Amino acid sequence: MLTFRNYLLIIKSILFLSILTDIYIRYKNSLLIMILLFVFATIIITNDYLRNIRFKDHTKYVHISLFFSLCTSSILIFTIDGISTYFYYYSFLFEIFQFKKNMLKFFIPIHVLLLSFYAIGLKSYNLNSISYFLIFILSLLSYLSILGMLYNKRKLEMESKEVKQLNEKLRLANVKLQECSLEIEEVAISKERTRVSQELHDSLGHSLVALVMHLEFAKNICTTNPLKLEEILAQSEKIARAGINDLRKTVDLLKSEPEVQDLNASLGQLINNFYLFSNLKITYTKSTDIESLNPIIKTSIYKTIQESITNSLKHGNATKINIEIIKNINNVKVIITDNGIGCDNILKSNGLNGIENRINSLGGEISYFSYNNLGFGIKLFIPI
């Protein structure tokens, strides 16, 4: 594939042939001068070829070579004074505007200065003639137009680069935000479990200790005081029932996470969280009756999709994610694919292991498919 340097070199080669033609036309009667100018022009184009093709990655050589080309080409303008030499000299601007800012500040003044020397020292025209004035104005306007065009092009490229960098930072920040959200959720769950375990210890433990004490007392008086025994057994029953009620309440609190009741709304909210990125597109399709699924299944599907989106952004650098939920008679199928970098060998992280545990606990199956530069995909089946 032809690069910018290749195109520039092709244009310079065409201009070089035109310059050789000008040299021949102007100096065909002066063989020695013509040969010297042929050699001089050949040295210039050879230097340009080496700079743009052979040594393009050697920064120091590129700078020295370009400085040499500017100086020698300005001499060529003095000698030949043709349209081809002008354009050949102008073509160096395209190279200069590829440099970094500090070298740009160095080469632009040199380019302008050498061209100014030519304009000041030009002897071919009468300074007072209208033709010279028109030529000078047209040359100046064309030069300034090229400078302005290249400056605006460079400015747009820099702005585009900055936008890409900001988008990447924004993408990483959002991924980090999602990770923090998951971590906060896990911390909240852990704290809730700790609270529930303390509740079990305080309430149920107290009930069991009291029940044991009543039963031991009942055993001791079962033959000596039957009336008291009946009272103790009745009280023991109350303690046991109270303990059962406390246990039931505690089990209700022991759920590790809130169940998803409205899967479509929850996924819509999840996808909206990523609409911050102009370069990220999430496509979501579903069966019409997914809300009839068991809340436990809907929760597992939601968590799987949430983890998959985070992985696609964090590890795959994906810009497109496709989510499909299909509910059949006996199962529900979920397919999640992206256009990220993919991989040949899938190394399961905690996130993927967590997804597998969720699906396996419901009697489902999960599989992954991925290849380098061909994205990553997850397919899962859950019986219903």
User: DSSP 3-state assignment of 191?
Assistant: helix
pLDDT of residue 30: 87
**Cα torsion 182, 185, 190, 196: sign:** negative
Least confident of 135-139, 169-173, 213-217, 375-379: 135-139
Both tokens assigned to 352: 């993927």
pLDDT of residue 335: 94
Q: CA-based diameter of the chain, in Å? A: 146
* Of the candidate ranges 19-28, 79-88, 120-129, 230-239, the one whose mean pLDDT is the lowest: 120-129
Cα separation, 89 vs 111, in Å, equals: 9
Q: How far apart are CA 145 and CA 156, in angstroms?
A: 16
The whole model's pTM is what? 0.47
> Length of the chain, please?
384
Share of the chain above pLDDT 70, in %: 85
pLDDT at 382: 93
Report the distance separating Cα 222 and Cα 232, nearest Å. Answer: 10
Q: How far is CA 251 from CA 135, 145, 212, 240, 294, in A?
A: 93, 78, 22, 16, 19
pLDDT in tens, 53-102: 888 888 888 889 889 988 888 888 877 877 788 888 888 888 888 888 78
Round the average pLDDT of the chain to a whole number and report it.
80
d(CA 316, CA 140): 51
> What band does 338 get if pLDDT is binned at 50, 70 and 90?
very high
Q: Give the lowest-confidence range in 196-210, 219-233, 293-307, 335-349.
A: 196-210
pLDDT higher than threshold 70 for residue 236: yes
d(CA 307, CA 376): 13
